[in-house]
Structure 1
């Protein structure tokens, strides 16, 4: 029987788990889940206490992507019935930031579809970010696809705090879910963003058919990236995408993965991201024992939990929302 507290103590001493220990977490019996969560919470509590940070997404450009990411409803290989539109006007991006602040979000993330942003899209987003920063001291994250060092520098100059660019999965499994860009392409974008002085948000997607070893390899690759934040998405299989028939995750499996990432990334913000409602279902509250951050409201093309519902879950756990700026007065 695995001693989960021993794994927690290794994490607290900044000692990486061995592959065998990591596999023991992913293969742990469901009956051990409460013991595993207790151990992971000791690590989470050490570095994040009982606080939770919220984040809200703005899908600022939807569809019309030429990439073939198999999990994505906006990709070239998807015929999912989603809303498709070009880049939103700046006023809508600014309004999104106001809604994020009203939702008690620490961070507002502007996301666009496509392989890489056009120069004019960088200009428009930069203009919106400058206006937002003049009005609301919320942190701004951008997820814009593959980016050059010059594009990253322009975002930094506009006031963007952080760039999201997920590794998504292990390097070995990457070609199984995307062939139009490589794992190394993604690492290059992260390198460009960091060189520009931007914080890094990078995580992955669980449940795409990857093996336990792929999950461990993803977590290990992220240790090399050293992101400031790790969002863990749980595949929500959308009809019309190549992965529409893959729906094998259980709430217990998702919680074990979150615990593993907490052990391997003890000091890093870990966010429960897309697909949590679909996959965790009634066990969603338990995910905040290993994780310390969560999305509110909608995702990119699927609905999420409204902010007041998330606030209630956090309060019921005896946790507290952490936000470091003055909230706007409603009305």
Structure 2
């Protein structure tokens, strides 16, 4: 049982435990976005559009706010929100966090944020100081800087370039996260697992939250085999947590059957206590609607105990991000 949580969440947990009714399962969405097109998100507001793993993303180049999320998740009990930075212009790295804090004050959502950081820039100390002061202190719980990566075809075991996880300047910035009591949101494809493991082992006091299941990509047998081996290797690092999110495949239907191997492999390798579900909306709205996504995750966990399902859908995110 979680301690220190507010009455609404405590009651929701109890309602589900007593009834077993999936409609009452409390959900914390541990990774999604809010944005307005009037704000500086170059990838959403400027032309030409960038290459994107889900292909044409014109459909998400529009406002997505709390009321839009609420409509999209009808039939599910999403009670807390952790919003991920949405690639606000890097010229103003704290601007999005300030905007998100104002949104939270006005609407009650989100309850926490993973904010933008540029670990290899000269302003990293200044940005971290902003996050440590009111009104962002306690609201910004984690930060993300997507390290420089390469394609599977171009990858080499000795990959080390400026901006990558092996870049000395990038690592100097990363070393500042533990003293700032911030977690790191790591988004990189699975073939960079050696760098991920090095990062986890070299900085054991920093919690790494892997985004989007280590980006398995296509579902051919060879890819899944190699992805699974990479994730099993990463799971041996005790300071790593796994977000089961962003697992759509361009041009393929998002169904429980299609996602079963990925979801169950991660839960088996990392354990229930280190996994958490998230939607990655509105981005994953390019491949699935929100209600179907949550229903799919529920279907895939139906054989688990109520306590295990609460952990995956709610409790782990509450504990990780300090929600109440």
Match of 1:173?
Answer: 159
How does 1:133-282 map onto structure 2 within 5 Å? 135=108, 138-143=111-116, 148-156=124-132, 157=134, 158=136, 159-167=139-147, 172-173=158-159, 175=161, 181-183=163-165, 184=167, 186-206=170-190, 210=191, 214-226=192-204, 227-231=206-210, 232-236=213-217, 250-263=223-236, 265-275=237-247, 281-282=259-260
Deviations 1:29-64 (A, max 9, x none): xxxxxxxxxxxxxxxxxxxxxxx9752311634616
The answer to whether the Cα contact below 8 Å between 1:140 and 1:162 also exists between their aligned partners in 2 is yes
Give yes or no for contact 1:233–1:273 (8 Å, CA) kept in 2.
Answer: no
CA distance in 1, matches of 2:221, 2:172: 32
* 1:146-177 deviation line (CA, Å, top 9, x unaligned): 573222332343222222334465994254xx
- Contact conserved, 1:234 with 1:275, CA < 8 A, in 2? yes
Structure 1 runs (4+) greater than 6 angstroms displaced: 76-79, 84-87, 97-101
Cα contact 1:202–1:230 (8 A) shared by 2 = yes
The correspondence for 1:314, drawn from 289, 295, 301, is: 301
Residue equivalent to 1:289: 268
The Cα shift of 1:258 comes to 1.9
For the 8 Å contact 2:146–2:188, the answer to whether it is kept is yes
The count of residues paired between Structure 1 and Structure 2 equals: 245
Q: Is the 8 A contact 1:55 1:293 kept in 2?
A: yes
- Partners of 1:289 and 1:249 in 2: CA distance: 19
Name structure 1 gaps, 5 residues minimum: 1-51, 67-72, 238-245, 326-331
In the other structure, the counterpart of 2:7 is none
- Between 223-232 and 189-198, report the one with greater CA deviation: 189-198
TM-score, normalised to structure 2's length? 0.56
Gaps spanning 5+ residues in structure 2: where?
1-26, 36-40, 150-155, 253-257, 319-324
Q: Give the superposition deviation at 1:145.
A: 5.3
Q: Is the 8 A contact 1:87 1:121 kept in 2?
A: no
Cα 1:148/1:126, change in 2 over 3 Å:
farther
2:57 matched residue in structure 1: 82
**CA separation in 2, counterparts of 1:77 and 1:312?**
29
| Cα distance change, pair 276–252 in 1 and its aligned pair in 2 (3 A) | farther
